[in-house]
Amino acid sequence: MKILNVYRTAPTADVKKLVEIVSEGREASSFDLNVDAPDYDKLVDMVLAADKTICWW
């Protein structure tokens, strides 16, 4: 299963822990929305390629 973790803000320690558990043994990638100019084209490609997307706070 391909998991995409999207971060709307910098991940807290709790979020990092949950991501670690949810992603274990799975193909995981991440995308940081917390930048000045996110590459939305790339983000959508990643979302479409993933089996599940989690948009963390």
Partner 1 sequence: MSKKVCFMLVHPDYTLDGLRSCLGLAVENMYSYAVVMNQTLAPLDDYNKENIDWIRDMEGEVYSTVPANCENEGLEPITLEELGQKLRDMDVIVPYGMMP
Partner 2 sequence: MAKSLGIFVTSAKNMKHIMGVTKAAKAKGCKVKIFFTWQGTRLAKTAEFPELCKIADDVSICADSYKKCGFDAADIPQGLTDKEMATQAQHGGIIEDYDCYMTL
The one segment of 10-18, 20-28, 38-46 that binds partner 2 by CB under 8 A: 38-46
Tally of CB atoms within 10 A around 50: 19
The verdict on 47 binding partner 1 (CB under 8 A) reads no
Listing DSSP states for 9-30 in one string gives: SPPPHHHHHHHHHHHTTSEEEE
Tally of CB atoms within 10 A around 29: 14
Residue 34, contacted partner among partner 2, partner 1, none, CB below 5-8 A by kind: none
Q: Where does this chain bind partner 2 (CB under 8 A)?
A: 6, 8, 33, 38, 40-41, 43-45, 47-48, 50, 52-53, 55
